[in-house]
């Protein structure tokens, strides 16, 4: 019996080893072996066409967004990301890229290697920086975990997107009449007068009672952040600083130095992200690793948005992100690019939430808010009443100047302007421009809000003139191209949204956190 067991022992061990390896691979790999058919998709960032995409796959897709933008494929990147988006979550881009590839395949669109190779030198980055060679390209791609093969695949996606966009919008172009109308609207010159109704002129007329203060406090204590202490966040931070370039360094040498610096930061960042509990220790262990670049570590006591440390006080995007829900206590942020060739990585150590102020301490703020609200309403009522008086007087045959004078209103003459070139160096230039859009000679604008909510404006159009312009044809050509691109973008977006709906797209509610720091 023992002899028989020994005879099969080696084979049994091999089989057991294979089973263990497969089990570990199945349990701990980011690859979805069952393509979303088991387990409820708890580790899926999203699912498309029933297929599960896990964090590692999604990060690679998300990094395609950065590569596309770095190499000048801006329209492609932003169309898939969402042109009207204001956040920085690239999950939608990753989802859209998967769907784009599926739709291109469904419609038989697959750019050849010859087409891809021909397209690469024509990318905007190589037009702006023709000296970039393949080594510099590889170094730039490496920071995102990309190879040249990955890059060529992305260029293929770019070409497929162009073909799909052109196919969806084939035969549709702006009408010459529309181009002329848009040109005239933007470049016709306005002569106009304005009436100002300033909010501050009503501030002294506002009366606030104790009852109003109490009511405001009760109604807004859960909504008005001014009635609460400022939220605060504490961090440990690592700041990487690149050695300044030599005075005689060429643009190529500067670019290569920046790439090497970023690769060095990314290598350390990967260790930091993998071991957040040893954040400072890992950072400090790298302080003397290189002689050229530098690392500084420091602890930041909890601070409010308005009290950020000096090294980021002029970096509003960084500050806003640090105070957003994207950053969690004990977690490590993605690297932030700061000015002067610096990169910072933060780890949140403390989160101090706002607390309601007692009424006594909040009173001054409440009085200020009520004064603004009441004086603004008084100014608005005055402006609308004044406009109606002017309209009635003009309808009775009086000029705008006479109507304004009878209503006891002062007018100011505005410098000659157009929609494309609003009154220069005027605080309310945008409000004035918006007020006259669509108006004819002799029209009185609706009441419009002045910049910063400082009051209201009424604008009267005295005269509209179209001057001869030597740039007219070139401007019309630019408008024609811009309108055609807008039509293409809108048609593609409408078509693509329908294809998204047909893809059975599902996104994990925690998607943004599942790929952060990777």
| Average pLDDT value for residue range 320-332 | 86
pLDDT at res. 447: 95
Task: Judge whether residue 8 has pLDDT over 80.
Answer: no
Cα–Cα distance between 268 and 284 in angstroms, integer?
A: 11
Contact 490, 80 (CB under 8 A): no
pLDDT at res. 38: 38
Confidence of residue 88 (pLDDT cuts 50, 70, 90): confident
pLDDT at res. 32: 43
Burial 448-485 (b: 16+ CB within 10 A, else e): bbbeeebbbbbbbbbebeeeeeeeeeeebeebbeebee
Task: Judge whether residue 15 has pLDDT over 50.
Answer: no
User: Which stretch of DSSP H or E encloses residue 514?
Assistant: helix 511-514
SS3 27: helix
Q: List all residues 6 or more positions away from 518 whose beta carbon is below 8 Å from its beta carbon.
A: 55, 56, 59, 273
SS3 449: strand
Confidence of residue 288 (pLDDT cuts 50, 70, 90): low
Confidence of residue 513 (pLDDT cuts 50, 70, 90): low
Sign, CA torsion 244/246/249/253: negative
pLDDT at res. 503: 92
In this structure, the number of other CB atoms found within 10 A of the CB of residue 28 comes to 7
pLDDT at res. 249: 87
The torsion angle over the Cα atoms of residues 92, 97, 98 and 99, rounded to 10 degrees, is 90
pLDDT tens column, 107-128: 999 999 999 999 999 998 888 7
User: Is the pTM for the entire model greater than 0.75?
Assistant: no
Lowest average pLDDT, out of 81-90, 245-254, 356-365, 440-449, goes to 81-90
Confidence of residue 292 (pLDDT cuts 50, 70, 90): low
pLDDT tens column, 231-242: 999 999 999 988
């Amino acid at each position: 019996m023992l002899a028989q067991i020994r005879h099969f022992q080696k084979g049994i061990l091999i089989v057991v080893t294979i089973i263990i390896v497969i089990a570990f691979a199945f349990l701990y790999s980011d690859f979805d072996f069952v393509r979303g058919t088991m387990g409820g998709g708890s580790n899926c960032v999203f699912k498309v066409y029933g297929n599960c995409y896990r964090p590692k796959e999604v990060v690679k897709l998300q990094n395609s967004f950065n590569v596309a933008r770095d190499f000048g494929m801006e329209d492609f990147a932003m169309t898939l990301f969402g042109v009207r988006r204001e956040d920085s979550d690239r999950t939608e881009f990753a989802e859209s890229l998967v769907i784009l590839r599926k739709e291109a395949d469904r419609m038989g669109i697959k750019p050849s290697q010859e087409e891809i190779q021909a397209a690469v030198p024509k990318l905007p980055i190589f037009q702006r920086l023709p000296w970039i060679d393949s080594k510099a390209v590889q170094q730039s791609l490496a920071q995102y975990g990309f190879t040249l093969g990955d890059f060529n695949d992305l260029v293929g996606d770019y070409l497929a997107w162009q073909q799909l966009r052109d196919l969806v919008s084939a035969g549709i172009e702006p009408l010459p009449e529309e181009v002329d109308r848009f040109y005239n609207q933007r470049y016709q010159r306005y002569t106009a007068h304005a009436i100002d109704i300033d909010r501050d002129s009503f501030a002294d007329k506002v009366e606030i009672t104790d009852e109003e203060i109490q009511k405001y406090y009760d109604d807004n204590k859960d909504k008005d952040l001014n009635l609460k202490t400022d939220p605060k966040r504490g961090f440990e931070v690592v700041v990487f600083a690149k050695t300044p370039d030599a005075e005689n360094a060429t643009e190529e040498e500067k670019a290569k130095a920046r790439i090497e610096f970023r690769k060095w930061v990314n290598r350390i960042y990967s260790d930091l992200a993998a071991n957040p509990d040893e954040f400072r220790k890992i950072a400090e262990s790298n302080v003397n690793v290189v002689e050229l670049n530098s690392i500084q570590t420091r602890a930041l006591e909890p601070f409010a948005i308005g009290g950020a440390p000096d090294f980021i006080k002029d970096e509003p995007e960084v500050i806003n992100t640090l105070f957003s829900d994207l950053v969690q206590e004990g977690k490590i942020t993605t690297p932030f690019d700061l000015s002067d060739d610096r990169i910072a990585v933060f780890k949140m150590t403390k989160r101090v939430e706002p607390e309601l102020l007692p009424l006594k301490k909040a009173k001054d703020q409440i009085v200020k808010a009520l004064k603004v609200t009441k004086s603004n309403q008084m100014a608005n009522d005055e402006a609308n009443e004044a406009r109606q008086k002017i309209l009635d007087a003009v309808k009775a045959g009086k000029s705008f100047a006479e109507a304004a004078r009878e209503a006891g209103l002062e007018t100011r003459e505005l410098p000659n302007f157009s929609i494309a070139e609003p009154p220069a160096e005027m605080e309310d230039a945008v409000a004035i421009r918006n007020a006259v859009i669509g108006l004819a000679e002799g029209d009185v604008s609706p009441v419009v809000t002045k910049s910063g909510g400082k009051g209201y404006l009424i604008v009267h159009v005295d005269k509209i003139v179209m001057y001869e312009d030597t740039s007219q044809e070139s401007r019309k050509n630019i408008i024609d191209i811009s309108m055609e691109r807008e039509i293409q973008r809108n048609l593609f977006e409408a078509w693509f949204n329908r294809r998204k709906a047909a893809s059975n797209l599902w996104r994990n509610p925690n998607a943004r956190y599942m790929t952060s720091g990777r």
